[in-house]
Amino acid sequence: MSPQHSPFASTTSSNAERLLVIYTGGTIGMQQHAQGLAPSGDFASRMATAFSQLSLAQQRTLPPYDVLSYSTLIDSSAATPLIWQKLAQDINDQLSAYTGFVIIHGTDTLSWTASSLAYQLQGLDRPVVMTGAMQPLEANGSDGLENLYGALQFAANPSLQEVAIYFAGKLLRGARAIKQHSEAFDAFTSPSYPLIGERVGDDFVYYSSRSLGHHQRGAPRFELPDYRPVNQGEIIRIVLWPGITAWQLDAWLGDSRIKGALLQLWGAGNLPDDARLMEVLARASGEGKLLAAISQCPQGSVQLGAYAAGHGLSDAGVLSGDDMTPEAAFTKLIHLIAQPLPLEVQRQRFLTPLVGER
């Protein structure tokens, strides 16, 4: 499907000075149907109508943009690694035509998509800003218009050279963000890294000192592996609970289809003092499965072996996810396992900051 030009675009702008808005679906684009809210199309004209409600001064600051709407719109709860792969490929295909990108996405898995895109678009030299809304664009009091307006403003800033999320006046590193609230407009936070930008009055301030900087040096241009081999549940996420047993853990990790797992442990890296649990982990790791661990706590990092209850995890082959978010750790496992890399290279790269995610 070809991108549609916005009515706010300057007729003198070349494509190389334009932004591309990619509309995938989500609450922001939903409209009321007989069965309730559902993804709806015609987003380019609806976006233009919304922007016409801005003050004339704000309308004049809108950068020229085109809109690419996906033919099959999704609720973000239906997102898969193949959706992440398609988005990265579309950005790659359009890279020479646009100076920045805005991705409109449902909020439920927005931070998961942002983390995946960060790994696929390593070495990015322009903004990719994701946004959405907690209410449909046409709803009374919707947060959609402000989020769209701010995302376009940051996507027009050439100093921003990474995947970011703009939401409720805040610009967050994509690989550091989580959704923290199911209803509030201020739904996203970055628990282990400061904001990389924010709206201050009518200004959109980017904090360049918090940019990727040294993390990006020497990074490959893009990494666009085929995610089909990891799209059928081959990587799993296990959040520990009181009373978990070895047979339950083995029911997942012992399955021959499993290639990797993210474990969410208690506190700084605790799990029950049960040698049989460690045996299951060691056996899975010995079979070549990539295992990593983070904390269930939203802030702080795991320190494997700091407590006796977690002693032996490293010996069992479990990698520390440090202070990574579940989204960043899980999508990193997917990204690494999808590539034909030796296991030791996958392990080393998981422990290495690739896009400022740890």
Active centre residues (catalytic): 27
Q: Note the Cα 19 to chain centre separation in Å.
A: 20
- CA 206/CA 154 separation, integer angstroms: 8
- 252: which residues sit within 8 A by CB, 6+ positions away? 236, 238, 258, 261
Name every residue whose Cβ is closer than 8 Å to that of residue 270 and which is 6 or more positions away in sequence: 307, 309, 310
SS3 state at 73: strand
Q: Say if CB 328 and CB 305 are below 8 A apart.
A: no
The span from the CA of 178 to the CA of 181, in Å, is 9
CB atoms near residue 351 (< 10 Å)? 13
At 143, list the tokens. Answer: 């947060």
